[in-house]
């Protein structure tokens, strides 16, 4: 028999959710989102469950994102399957965000896209020396969804803007320093964490603090002032100009990276973050991202980005429009426009 792609169980006061799709780096699909949601709902008012623990089978990664191939295939048609996936995934994200019991994510390995969406809302987010974090969506014609419009603008300064636009990859020293993750534990301390948590399941943060190790100096720290200065602009064109005018090796390296990304995605992502920064309700952000998701997956750039990066792997996407000037405010307005009332995303009751 094939094992379930999500394993759930209750033991010692802890509701365990284990992602179990290791060959796909636990990339999320509709069934996985539904299974996690069902478990969380069943535990929400269960006195036998004092906290929830989300981890993964194997050692290669926590969760590398969503099922991009399925989303692209759906987007090439009417996008109904992609929208159904986004609807369920974003409801899971929101359920975790508002969950009444402490949730811990053991972010041991690759955590990107959808993996960020199921870990960032958690109260305790434990990184290890194997953690690699990124929101790389602008490289495939998408945008940093799963709550990126909420979480990224709330990181220090303009770090979230830099992460969203460049898709930069961070290790644990940076993620804990920036508050993306709450604690650093060596991977060989995770079993001790699980064992101690089983004796004190209501207080995972206290258990993590008791085992926490030094994550070392954060490589990002010397660049924070430049990030805050250069990525503070409200148009992508102004960010490009600021990086070029700065002229430092670091700034020019960022500019070179940005020039490889989808111009449409860069503009969508910047507007998404600037809009999300001013929202006061996480659900409003998820509704915005749902509108975007169902539309962006049908665009040329998403189809081309998935072809270049995931399918053919030539890493040579041909974006259209090919430059920033080709993406108008009217184009963005159409992507961000409200849906008919009966098609809007709503959180679980």
Q: What residues are annotated to the active site?
A: 66, 114, 137, 145
Q: ∠ CA(269), CA(115), CA(40), 5° rounding? A: 120
Residue 213, Cβ neighbours under 10 Å: how many? 13
Please tell me the distance from the alpha carbon of residue 223 to that of residue 26, in angstroms, as a whole number.
32
Closest CA to 147 of 212, 89, 217: 89
Please tell me the distance from the alpha carbon of residue 178 to that of residue 300, in angstroms, as a whole number.
34
Length of the chain in residues, anyone? 349
Q: Which two tokens stand for residue 54?
A: 């989300």
Closest CA to 300 of 183, 142, 150: 142
* Under 8 Å between Cβ of 71 and 17: no
Place of tokens 């700034």: 251
Please tell me the distance from the alpha carbon of residue 45 to that of residue 189, in angstroms, as a whole number.
30
């Amino acid at each position: 028999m094939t094992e379930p792609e999500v394993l759930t169980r209750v033991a010692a006061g802890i509701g365990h959710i284990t992602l179990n799709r290791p060959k796909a780096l636990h990339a999320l699909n509709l069934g996985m989102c539904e299974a996690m949601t069902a478990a969380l709902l069943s535990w929400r008012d269960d006195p036998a469950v004092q906290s929830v623990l989300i981890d993964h089978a194997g050692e290669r990664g926590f969760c590398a994102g969503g099922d991009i191939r399925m989303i692209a295939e759906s987007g090439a048609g009417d996008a109904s399957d992609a929208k159904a996936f986004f609807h369920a995934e974003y409801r899971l994200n929101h359920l975790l965000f508002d969950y009444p019991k402490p949730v811990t994510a053991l972010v041991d390995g690759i955590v990107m896209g959808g993996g960020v969406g199921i870990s960032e809302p958690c109260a305790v987010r434990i990184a290890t020396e194997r953690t690699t974090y990124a929101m790389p969506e602008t490289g495939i014609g998408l945008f940093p969804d799963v709550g990126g419009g909420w979480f990224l603008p709330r990181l220090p300064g303009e770090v979230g803007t830099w992460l969203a636009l460049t898709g930069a990859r961070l290790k644990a020293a940076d993620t804990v320093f920036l508050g993306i993750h709450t604690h650093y534990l060596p991977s060989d301390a995770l079993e001790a964490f699980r064992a101690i948590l089983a004796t004190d399941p209501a207080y995972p943060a206290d258990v993590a603090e008791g085992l926490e190790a030094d994550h070392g100096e954060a490589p990002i720290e010397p660049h924070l002032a430049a990030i805050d200065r250069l990525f503070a602009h409200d148009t992508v064109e102004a960010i490009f100009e600021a990086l070029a005018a700065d002229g430092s090796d670091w700034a020019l390296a960022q500019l070179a990276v940005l020039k490889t990304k989808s111009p449409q995605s860069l503009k969508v992502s910047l507007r998404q973050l600037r809009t999300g920064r001013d929202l006061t309700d996480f659900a409003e952000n998820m509704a915005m991202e749902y509108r975007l998701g169902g539309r962006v997956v049908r665009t040329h750039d998403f189809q081309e980005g998935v072809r270049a990066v995931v399918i053919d792997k030539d890493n040579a996407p041909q974006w259209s429009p090919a430059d920033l000037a080709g993406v108008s405010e009217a184009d963005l307005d159409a992507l961000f426009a409200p849906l008919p009332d009966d098609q809007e995303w709503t959180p679980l009751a």
